[in-house]
Amino acid sequence: MSPVPFVAPVVESTAAFKDDIFKGKVLFCTGGGSGICRGMTEAVMRHGANAVIIGRKLDRLTQSAKELSEKTGRTCIPAQADVRKPEELKEAVKKTIEKFGKIDFVICGAAGNFLAPISGLSENGFRTVMEIDTIGTYNTIKATIPHVRKTKGAYIHVSATLHYKGSQYQAHVSAAKAGIDALSTVLAVEEGPFGVRSNVIAPGAIAGTEGIARLSNKESRRPFVSPLGRVGEIKDVESATVFLFSDVASFITGQILVVDGGAENTRQSQLPYPQAVLDPESISKMVKGKL
Ligand code: COA
C-alpha cells in the first residue's frame, strides 16, 4: 500500500507573530481591493497597521476597505488610482499622508493577466500588461520612495514563478514579472544605504484567486500539486508578507521568496504540452477567456 502523502497545514500568521508588531505602521498597497493583495493587507492590519488600498474600481475598494477595517479593528481607506498613471498614484500618496502622516510599507501588487500565444498577442495586449505590472511597479516606487526613506520602511513586490521557465501563453506576464524582479533587486541595492528594504514574493498557484480561475485547466481538472501536498492558499502569502515586513527580516533585502510548496522544483506543466501549443483551439475549450 502506498503511504499517504503529507499535506502542509495552512497556518495564520498570528500563530507565530505577535498581534502588535506593526502597531502604528502604515501600509500602501496597490491591488489591495481583491485577491492575494487584499489578503496581504488584512494580514499586515491584523498585526496592528493601518492601510490604504489602491485600485481602479472605487466601489470594490470602498467595500474591501470597510470589510478590512471591521475584520481587523484597524483603519483602511480606499484610494482610486490606475498604476499606469503617475499623477493618480501621487494623489493616492497625498491622500495617505493627509490621513496617516507617513508610509512604512508598500506592496506593489496591481497586475493584469490573460492567456495568449505570442503569435496571437496584439502589441497593445503585450504593452498593457507591461504597463500595469512593470511600469506600474516603477510608478509606485517613484511615488512612495521619499516617504519610505523617511520611515526606513520596506517594499514587497508581488511577482510569480512562471517566468523561471517557458510558460506557454504567458510571454507578456513573464516579461513583466522578470522586470519586477529586476526592479526590486536594484531598489534593494540603491535604497539599502537609506535603510529601505525591498523583496519579492513569488506565489505559485494560489486557490480562490482570479488568476488561477483564468489560468487553470478546466477540462482535466488536474490539480496543481506541490511536494507539500496541496495548492497554495492566500494565507501562505499572508504569512510570508508578515515575515518580510517584520523586524526579524531586517537583514533580508533584494531576495525573492517563492511561496509554492516546492511546486517550481517539479516538472509539471500547467497546460498539455505540446498539444496546447500546436492546437490552441483545443485548449480554448479548457480555459476561460479568449486566446
Ligand atoms: N486575450 C488577448 N488579448 C487580450 C485579452 C485576452 N484575454 N484581454 C485583453 N487583451 C488585450 C486587448 O485585446 C487589448 O489589445 P487590443 O487593443 O490590441 O485589442 C489590450 O489587451 C488591452 O485590453 P483592455 O481590456 O482594453 O485593457 P484594460 O486596461 O481594460 O485591461 C487587463 C487589461 C489585463 C487588466 C484585462 O485583461 C483584465 O481585465 N484582466 C482581468 C483582471 C486581471 O488580470 N486580474 C489579475 C489576475 S492575476
Mean pLDDT for all residues in the chain: 92
Q: Can you tell me the distance from the alpha carbon of 10 to that of 14, in angstroms, rounded to the nearest whole number?
A: 12
Residue 2 lies in a domain: no
Q: Any idea which of 90-94, 105-109, 138-142, 211-215 has the lowest mean pLDDT?
A: 211-215
The count of domains in the chain is: 1
Taking the C-alpha atoms of residue 87 and residue 176, their distance in angstroms, rounded to an integer, is 22
Q: How far is the CA of 65 from the centre of ligand 1 (A)?
A: 25
Spatial CA neighbour of 62 closest among 81, 83, 77: 77
Radius of gyration of the chain measured on its C-alpha atoms = 19
Q: Are 105 and 26 in contact (CB under 8 A)?
A: yes
CB of 120 closer than 6 angstroms to any ligand 1 atom: no
57 is catalytic: no
Q: What is the percent of the chain with per-residue pLDDT over 70, rounded to a whole number?
A: 92
* Dihedral Cα 129, 202, 250, 75, nearest 10 deg: 70
Residue showing cell 484610494: 79
Q: Which domain holds residue 276?
A: 21-284
Residue 16 falls inside a structural domain: no
Share of the chain above pLDDT 90, in %: 81
Query: Would residue 289 count as lying in a domain?
Result: no
CATH of the domain at 209: 3.40.50.720
114 lines ligand 1 (CB under 6 A): yes
Of residues 216 and 69, the one with the higher pLDDT is 69
Q: How confident is the model over 152-156, as a mean pLDDT?
A: 99
Q: What is the DSSP annotation of 223-277?
A: ----TTSS-B-HHHHHHHHHHHHSGGGTT--S-EEEESTTGGGS---SS-TTHHH
Is ligand 1 within 6 A of the CB of residue 289? yes
Per the annotation, the verdict on 159 as an active-site residue is: yes
* Beta carbons within 10 angstroms of residue 161's beta carbon: 18
Q: Of all protein residues, whose CA lies closest to atom 44 belonging to ligand 1?
A: 112
pLDDT band at 235 (very low <50, low <70, confident <90, very high): very high
Confidence at residue 285, expressed as pLDDT on a 0 to 100 scale: 72
Domain for residue 1, yes or no?
Answer: no
185-214 in b/e form (b: 16+ CB < 10 A) is bebbeebeeeebbbbbbbbbbbeebebbee
Asked whether the beta carbons of 110 and 31 are under 8 A apart, the reply is yes
Per-residue confidence (pLDDT) for residue 158, from 0 to 100: 98
Q: Is the pLDDT of residue 5 over 90?
A: no
How many other CB atoms sit within 10 Å of the CB of residue 63?
14
5 within a domain of the structure (yes/no): no
* Residue to substitute in 128, 168, 283 for testing ligand 1 pocket (most ligand atoms within 8 angstroms of CB): 128
**Catalytic residue of the set 25, 167, 177, 216:** 177
Across the range 190-209, mean pLDDT stands at: 96
pLDDT band at 288 (very low <50, low <70, confident <90, very high): low
Residue type, 66: K
Atom of ligand 1 nearest to the CA of 125: 21
Q: Report yes or no on 237 lying in a domain.
A: yes
| Poorest-pLDDT segment among 27-31, 201-205, 209-213 | 209-213
265 or 155, which is more confident: 155
Residue nearest to atom 46 of ligand 1 (CA): 112
- Confirm whether 8 is domain-assigned: no
- pTM, 2 dp: 0.92
Which among 13, 159, 216, 246 is annotated as catalytic? Answer: 159
- Say if residue 270's pLDDT is above 90: no
Report yes or no on 190 lying in a domain.
yes
